[in-house]
Structure 1
Amino acid sequence: METSTARLNMVKSQIMPNRVSDPLVLEALGNVPRELFAPKAMRAVAYVDEDIPLGKGRFVLEPLITARLLQAAEIVPEDVVLDIGTGTGYSAAVLSRMVSTVVALESDPDLAAKAESTLIELGVDNAVVITGPLAEGCPRQAPFSLIIVNGAIPHVPAPLRAQLADGGRLVAVLREGPVGRLVVVERHGNAFGQRTLFDTDAPLLPGFEPAPSFIF
């Protein structure tokens, strides 16, 4: 099957039937070649609704989870986005079609290099890839009107909250035990609110493990 047809089928058969209707989200997902961000051995199944393993506990999130994260973010074209755990850059490429600026943060240097080269190959000129610890965010580029976390995390670290602009929001899957919930954190001045939208799941994103407590 041609990849353009596979992308169209992904949007029409996987995403739209699952209550994703934001036209910005649908257009972006329908036009970014997901297969370029997958390992060569996985490219033939790039449009199956499954996570694509990248090694080292990392994944390209399945299309539906990506779509639901983006729809929950209520994206507007003026957004400046911190894309945490971009992996090989698929989420950054999708976001680049929807917002003014994307800062794509990746902790693994090899994945970051792949993300940068693929974004350049696609001619993306409003996204930059930065290598660094995921839980620390990018304080030098802050504040951000939107932060997207590409994977499940046990909690939202304080540094990420602090990097939200006033009126900004952070979208992530919080997992407590086996249960994952998609949440939106919003900043209003120095106050933060959190809304839970629905139960969902995503692979745990390395780098957010709580520090072990000291035991005498």
Structure 2
Amino acid sequence: MISEKFAEARHHMVLSQLRPNRVTDGRVAEAMDTVPREEFVPKELKGVAYLDEDLEVAPGRFVVEPRVFARLLQEANIGPTDVILDVGCGTGYSSAVLGFLGQAVVAIESDPELVARATDILVRLECDNVAVVEGALATGNPKQGPYNVIHINGSISSAPQSLLDQLAEDGRLICVLGDNPGVATVYRRLGDRFFPHAAFDASVPPLPDMQDEARFEF
């Protein structure tokens, strides 16, 4: 009964939050209608898991509001063969959704407790194409790269060159730059150059680990 109520809430989220807000990609909608958001938030927040709000799952880590997250995914244009780096994965919700869309996901998290927590949830949900690793967020995980898509959870002050360098040719880094409001931005790699595209305004909580990294120069 409880699982059915969450499934109804998940589907209603897609109908009432995603579709009216320019989310037209059917694969993105299907992914977010499939992955149980409630499994990735604390017990006291399960009842509000599908509200259009950012939900704090640990200090400095949030499950980003569905509307913004879905539009970011849509801008990334993720294909089924894409290899993805998920930066600041928290409890792993974004990683699970990315895993639904792509071929494989490397999820990086600097907090060892969150690494263990995200791994437990993802294993329980049989997200077999997602691996959670501990490390500095701005360093990424170049050993498993290059990546077709890099997703950053939370707003940042600038795009770290260290992450941009891990993009494959035609790879996309998706992030929110700044806050109140920030700008959802897609960087695309063509050769040794990176081209930013401002996609839409978005307000998401900052990712504390990545506020003062080396700035990408336009």
TM-score (normalizing by structure 2)? 0.93
Whole-Å Cα distance in 1 between the matches of residues 168 and 58 of structure 2? 33
1:164 Cα offset (Å): 0.4
Whole-Å Cα distance in 1 between the matches of residues 58 and 104 of structure 2? 28
1:137-148 aligned at under 5 Å gives the runs 137-148=140-151
Quick one: which of 113, 125, 132 aligns to 1:122? 125
Instruction: String of CA shifts for 1:3-62, please: whole Å, max 9, x gaps.
Output: 010000000011111010101100000011100000011111101111111231211111
Task: Give the counterpart letter for 2:205 in structure 1.
Answer: P
| Corresponding residue for residue 194 of structure 1 | 196
Q: Does 1:150 align with 2:136?
A: no
Q: Which runs of 4+ in 1 moved over 3 A?
A: none
Instruction: String of CA shifts for 1:140-191, please: whole Å, max 9, x gaps.
Output: 111001001111000001100110011111010000x633001110111111
Contact 2:91–2:117 (CA under 8 A) maintained in structure 1: yes
Quick one: which of 201, 204, 207 aligns to 1:205? 207
Please list every run of 5 or more consecutive structure 2 residues that lacks an aligned counterpart in the other structure.
214-218
1:98-177 aligned at under 5 Å gives the runs 98-175=101-178
Quick one: which of 65, 72, 93 aligns to 1:69? 72
1:201 Cα offset (Å): 1.2
| Corresponding residue for residue 10 of structure 1 | 13
Question: What do you get for the CA RMSD once the two structures are aligned?
Answer: 1.1
| Corresponding residue for residue 216 of structure 2 | none
Whole-Å Cα distance in 1 between the matches of residues 129 and 38 of structure 2? 21
| Corresponding residue for residue 50 of structure 1 | 53
Instruction: String of CA shifts for 1:113-132, please: whole Å, max 9, x gaps.
Output: 11100110011111100111
Whole-Å Cα distance in 2 between the matches of residues 56 and 5 of structure 1? 29
Please list every run of 5 or more consecutive structure 1 residues that lacks an aligned counterpart in the other structure.
212-216
Task: Give the counterpart letter for 2:108 in structure 1.
Answer: L
Whole-Å Cα distance in 2 between the matches of residues 75 and 187 of structure 1? 15
Instruction: String of CA shifts for 1:67-114, please: whole Å, max 9, x gaps.
Output: 011001011111100011111000011111111000011111111111
1:135 Cα offset (Å): 0.9
Whole-Å Cα distance in 2 between the matches of residues 108 and 40 of structure 1? 20
Whole-Å Cα distance in 2 between the matches of residues 130 and 85 of structure 1? 10
Whole-Å Cα distance in 1 between the matches of residues 45 and 134 of structure 2? 25
Where is the helix percentage greater, Structure 1 or Structure 2?
2
1:23-62 aligned at under 5 Å gives the runs 23-62=26-65
Whole-Å Cα distance in 1 between the matches of residues 69 and 113 of structure 2? 22
Whole-Å Cα distance in 2 between the matches of residues 5 and 135 of structure 1? 37
| Corresponding residue for residue 214 of structure 1 | none
TM-score (normalizing by structure 1)? 0.94
- The number of equivalent residue pairs is 210
Task: Give the counterpart letter for 1:138 in structure 2.
Answer: N
